[in-house]
């Protein structure tokens, strides 16, 4: 941004029309606005801010008493600013809301806020960019790239705040600077980073505890101590764990081969056991049969005697009814 010229009419401390040629003032690279209190130094800065944004900075924004109390009633309050924004030279003419005499009859009427923005071309021609305050706000916002508050904080340091800054101690100066430049966001970011650092430290300590537990269990299982000061040099424990993994993988491969062999031997043993069990069962059945046969041979005489008795009984079978009848006749005879 570069200011070229400023004209104020019935604005603030100036009852009439005053012009400032910033190009002439800034020819030496630096210039100073100075004067007695009430001379209008701050009014010029207010006029620049009003031309660009339609409002003034600081406490004066609440009052918005832009029109000079000493201006003639027929003189309109107006600010005209020529400024270069992003390599484009503009002329901004802005009038605040104000009262003026009626054109016809007596009394006063209210005149609305008005603003026009023209672009000044190198060939001397002009083109209208905005004819209403809302159009001007939209056009200038893109070119300025900052809000009114940001412009006042970064470009225009409010006079009263600067005096407070000069008189304050170091702590107060910090507060003033934080308020002027809206550093609360940076304090919020710092606080957020501090909280994130604490959270990350807590997470790191938790991870380290888990890693220590894993390393301890690995050392116990492997029967080998980890590298000394491994927490300071994580690469050492990584190499140690890598070597353990290689050893374990080799042992696992050997165990796998032994497992295959053991499974084959177990299958053969199970088959042999099944054959031996079947043989033992048959031998037990044979022994039982031999014992039963010996018992049967030993009881042969008794069986033969019983067989003879059975044959004799069968031979006396036809006589048995006659014997029974004779016995009955004898009983009858004895009775008679």
Confidence of residue 20 (pLDDT cuts 50, 70, 90): very high
Please give the average per-residue pLDDT across 232-243, as a whole number: 76
Checking if the pLDDT of 252 tops 90, the result is: no
Q: What is the mean pLDDT of the chain?
A: 85
Residue 231's φ and ψ, nearest 5 degrees, are: -65, -35
Q: What is the pLDDT of residues 98-135, one digit of tens each?
A: 888 888 878 888 889 999 999 999 998 999 999 999 99
pLDDT band for 62, please (50, 70, 90 cuts).
Answer: very low
Lowest-confidence range among 15-19, 27-31, 230-234? Answer: 230-234
For residue 176, pLDDT over 70 is answered with no
pLDDT of residue 159: 56
Q: Which two tokens stand for residue 321?
A: 């009814």
- Give the mean model confidence (pLDDT) for residues 269-280: 92
Least confident segment among 205-209, 222-226, 331-335: 222-226
10 and 78 Cβ atoms separated by less than 8 Å? yes
Burial class (CB within 10 angstroms; exposed 0-12, middle 13-18, buried 19+) of 207: exposed
Instruction: Please say if the pLDDT value at position 64 is more than 60.
Output: no
Residue 160 has pLDDT above 50, yes or no: yes
C-beta of residue 49 within 8 angstroms of C-beta of residue 149: no
């Amino acid at each position: 941004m570069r200011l070229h010229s400023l004209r104020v009419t019935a604005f603030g401390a100036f009852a009439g029309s005053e012009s400032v040629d910033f190009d002439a003032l800034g020819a030496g690279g630096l210039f100073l606005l100075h004067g007695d209190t009430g001379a209008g130094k701050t009014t010029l800065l207010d006029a620049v801010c009003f031309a660009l944004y339609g409002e003034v900075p600081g406490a004066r924004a609440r009052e918005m008493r832009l029109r000079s109390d000493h201006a003639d009633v027929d003189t309109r309050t107006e600010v005209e600013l020529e400024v270069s924004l992003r390599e484009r030279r503009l002329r901004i003419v802005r009038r605040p809301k104000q009262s003026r005499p009626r054109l016809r009859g007596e009394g006063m009427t209210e005149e609305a806020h008005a603003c026009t923005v023209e672009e000044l071309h190198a060939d001397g021609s002009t083109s209208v960019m905005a004819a209403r305050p809302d159009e001007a706000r939209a056009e200038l916002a893109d070119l300025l790239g900052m809000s009114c508050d940001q412009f006042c904080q970064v470009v225009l340091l409010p006079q009263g705040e600067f005096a407070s800054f000069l008189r304050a101690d170091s702590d107060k100066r910090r507060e003033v600077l934080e308020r002027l430049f809206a550093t609360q966001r940076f304090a919020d970011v710092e606080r957020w980073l501090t909280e994130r650092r604490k959270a990350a430290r807590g997470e790191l300590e938790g991870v380290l505890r888990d890693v220590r537990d894993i390393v301890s269990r690995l050392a116990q299982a492997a029967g080998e101590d980890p590298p000394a000061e491994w927490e300071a040099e994580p690469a050492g424990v990584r190499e140690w764990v890598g070597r353990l993994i290689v050893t374990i993988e080799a042992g696992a491969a050997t165990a796998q081969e032994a497992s295959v062999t053991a499974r084959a031997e177990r299958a053969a043993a199970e088959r042999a056991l099944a054959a031996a069990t079947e043989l033992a069962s048959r031998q037990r059945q044979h022994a039982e049969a031999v014992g039963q046969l010996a018992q049967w041979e030993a009881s042969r005489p008794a069986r033969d005697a019983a067989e003879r008795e059975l044959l004799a009984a069968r031979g006396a079978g036809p006589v048995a009814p006659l014997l029974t009848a004779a016995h009955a006749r004898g009983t009858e005879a004895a009775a008679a």
